[in-house]
Amino acid sequence: MGSFADFHARSINDRDAFWAEQAKLVDWKVQPQQICDYSNPPFAKWFVGGETNLCHNAVDRHLAERADQPALIFVSTETDTEKTYSYRELHAEVQRMAAILQDLGVVKGDRVLIYMPMIAEAAFAMLACVRLGAIHSVVFGGFASHSLASRIEDASPKVIISADAGSRSGKVVAYKPLLDEAIQLSAHKPANVIMVDRQLAPFTPVAGRDMDYATERAQHMDAVVPCVWVESTHPSYTLYTSGTTGKPKGVQRDTGGYTVALAASMPNIFEGKPGGTFFCTSDIGWVVGHSYIIYGPLIGGMATILYEGLPIRPDGGIWWSLVEKYKVNVMFSAPTAIRVLKKQDPALLTKYDLSSLQALFLAGEPLDEPTAKWISEGLNGKAIIDNYWQTETGWPILSICNGVEKAPSKFGSPGKAIYGYNVKLVDDQTGDELTGAHQKGVLTIEGPLPPGNLQTIWGDDERFVKTYWKTVPNKLVYNTFDWAVRDEDGYFFILGRTDDVINVAGHRLGTREIEESISSHPNIAEVAVVGVADQLKGQVAMAFAIAKDASGLGDATARLKLEGEVMKVVDKQLGAVARPSRVFFVSALPKTRSGKLLRRAIQAVAEGREPGDLTTMDDPAALQQIVDQIKG
């Protein structure tokens, strides 16, 4: 295929010809008339004049060749259920769901909000929406009522699809009371709610509004609902970015550009082949779940595993047992999950036959070198490929494209700029481009953003321009809000958020750099570093760490000894200026349910402030531990 450097250069310098080629990977009802319309920067329109359908490309077009091949493999260790749907069966289920929506008057352009656990019906719902040209908005299952209400208000859905409950670690999380309260709080009231009753939590339907999915499905067993062909630029979905304050930001995705981007990513980035199996451990509430549980693998003609459960239940080998059982070729997870597995019995990694597995991809937060090394050794040298992207981009910005040209991973780096992305490091004060190796700058992307990236913020073009395109001085570039450096080989290293920079006595330090350093101590499993206001230095770094072996840390002398050791490591690696003011030892760090550290909440309590909106927090006790440690 030639070198990746040439492949990437062509995607930037001969953009239209490059993407016209990738567009051949998908089916079009009407061929695009123009590949990219960038006449109104920063708004990019891809494959203008083309008509396609996301559900057709994910399901229908495979019926001719692979109707009986597994398409969706649903596994729940919470309810002990496993069910495989072939492409033919998935096609039938999606049409049944689409027929229910049609009966409720859902047409092209209508919004449908999906508030569901990781169950097969959630996949049917997403695919049914795009089949009809409706715009889905998936909200992470179990989100608190006021967060859900703000999203209902912003998306103004005609219909909501939900379930009685989800389950986590054997504990039932009832969704219906949260949903009822959210609808009550929202100024927008959906006409109907479709309820999937899993018999996990009893609930009372609201008369005239709530419908039972099983009852409706039974009436549409033989439904034939053709795909509605839509313009390439027609929105496929909106997805609200986590951690936003005030009015939620609905990232709006197109149809044609997204379909092409995912279709091209399967062979080029993930080396996924039709007939293979893809296992992404994310959740449909997040962008990774949209792109690489549902749409990407199916567009690529693969089987995809939809998993409800934890990585350590019934034991830390559950994921590897699924790799063996379903002959998984490509696995996609998050560094947090791997750090959780790091605490389990290492024998679980060698217990199963993992010969089918080609690579493990990791994204969601920076992958620290010790974790990357541990899992690489544990998986007997299988490719461990970090990749970096955002809800806004829909697919990776930085990674390794082994499908184009084999390249080594560098632990600690998510790789090089992916084709289609014109990535530039710039000086945050002047906007000047930094071209030298190891120069620290803000990671930006020159427009037009490639296919599959956000079109705008739902209902708010002005906010789209202001938030992402107007923050770098003297330049109209997309700001990722991440610091990075690039080495001599073009590999990037992410150093943390531009808004997570600590200014210690005039020295600018990324919390990420300090975390990497602390993680290299042999007894540190995980760490979060935040900048805390300090009268003398402006800010100081404060660290909260989980020890691999915490036995004996109940004793103050042992804690001080370990704290001193950790500080020495930072001293040695980064210099005394980066040494944290304190290192506190805790048994858990506060995170969102998707595994992202709640750094702002940690910083707030460390500074004696209110932590703010904690609706996405997984374990409230973790934050209390930090409060107690600081007070103690």
Confidence grade of residue 246 (pLDDT, cut at 50, 70, 90): low
Domain ranges across the chain: 4-309+387-482, 505-631
Q: Assess whether the region 4-309+387-482 and the region 505-631 belong to the same CATH fold.
A: no
**Does the pLDDT value for residue 141 go beyond 90?**
no
Mean pLDDT along residues 330-343: 90
DSSP 277: E
- Rounded distance between C-alpha atoms, residue 427 and residue 508, angstroms: 13
Residues 6+ apart with CB under 8 A from 606: 530, 532, 542, 626, 630
CA distance 402 to 381: 16
pLDDT for residue 416 is more than 70:
yes
Average pLDDT, stretch 219-236?
Answer: 98
How far is Cα 179 from Cα 165, in angstroms, rounded to an integer? 11
Residue of higher predicted confidence among 146 and 334: 334
- pLDDT of 414 reads 96
Question: Token digits for 366?
Answer: 């920076």
The CA-based diameter of the chain, rounded to the nearest angstrom, is: 73
What contacts 232, CB < 8 A, 6 or more positions away? 32, 45, 46, 47, 48, 49, 50, 51, 52, 254, 255, 256, 257
Among the ranges given (26-30, 434-438, 549-553), the one the predictor scored with the smallest mean pLDDT: 549-553
The alpha helices in 133-286, defined as continuous H runs, are 145-155, 176-185, 213-218, 256-268
pLDDT band at 244 (very low <50, low <70, confident <90, very high): very low
Query: Picking from 107-116, 142-151, 383-392, which range would have the lowest pLDDT averaged per residue?
Result: 142-151
The CA distance from 108 to 627, in Å, is 50
456 confidence band (pLDDT: 50, 70, 90): very high
Q: What architecture (CATH level 2) is domain 505-631?
A: 2-Layer Sandwich (3.30)
Cα distance between residue 270 and residue 106, in whole Å: 35
Distance CA 516, CA 524 (A): 11
Phi (first) and psi of residue 206, to 5 degrees: -85, 120
CATH 1.10.1040.10 matches 4-309+387-482: no
- Quote the CA–CA distance of 626 and 588 in Å, as a whole number: 9
Residue predicted with more confidence, 132 or 366: 132
Looking at residues 619-623, what average pLDDT do you find?
83
Q: Whose CA is closest to 151, among 240, 69, 220, 216? A: 240
pLDDT digits (tens, 9 = 90+) for 254-279: 999 999 999 999 999 999 999 999 99
pTM higher than 0.75 for the full model?
Answer: yes
Q: What is the pLDDT of residue 594?
A: 73
State the CB neighbour count (10 A cutoff) for residue 41: 11
Position 497 scores a pLDDT of: 73
Q: In the structure, what pLDDT confidence band is assigned to residue 539 with cuts at 50, 70 and 90?
A: confident
Question: Tokens 């010790």 belong to which residue?
Answer: 370
pLDDT surpasses 80 at 588: yes
Spatial separation of the C-alpha atoms in residues 186 and 592, rounded to whole Å? 24
| Amino acid, res. 452 | G
Sorted by sequence, the CB contacts under 8 Å of residue 9 that are 6+ apart come out as none
Mean pLDDT of 85-113: 98
Supply 602's token pair: 């940690």
The pLDDT value recorded for residue 536 is 66
Retrieve residue 485's tokens: 């450096």
pLDDT of residue 595: 78
Element (H, E) at 505: none
Which of 478 and 246 is assigned the larger pLDDT?
478
Q: What amino acid is encoded at 288 in this protein? A: V
pLDDT at 504: 76
pLDDT at position 243 over 60: no
Helix, strand counts (H, E) of the chain = 20, 32
C-alpha separations of 368 from 22, 335, 364, 545, 563 in Å: 33, 8, 12, 14, 20
Give pLDDT, residue 612: 76
pLDDT at 290: 98
Burial tier of 569 (Cβ tally within 10 Å: 0-12, 13-18, 19+): middle
Share of the chain above pLDDT 90, in %: 79
Chain-centroid distance, C-alpha 138 = 13
Q: Where are the beta strands (DSSP E) in 301-349?
A: 303-308, 330-333
- At 586 the pLDDT is 93
Q: How far is the C-alpha of 45 from the C-alpha of 16, rounded, in Å?
A: 12
Least confident interval from 147-151, 230-234, 289-293, 581-585: 147-151
Cα(522)–Cα(381) distance, integer angstroms? 21
> What's the CA gap between 384 and 397, in Å, rounded?
17
**For the chain, first and last CA: distance in Å?**
61
- 282: phi > 0 → left, psi -120 to 50 → alpha, else beta; which? beta
pLDDT at 506: 58
Average pLDDT on 509-532 reads 90
Range from 56-65, 224-233, 579-588 carrying the lowest mean pLDDT: 579-588
Q: What is the pLDDT of residue 507?
A: 65
Mean pLDDT rounded to a whole number for the chain: 93
Compute the average pLDDT of residues 574-596. 86
The whole-number average pLDDT for the span 116-126 is 98
Position 245 scores a pLDDT of: 43
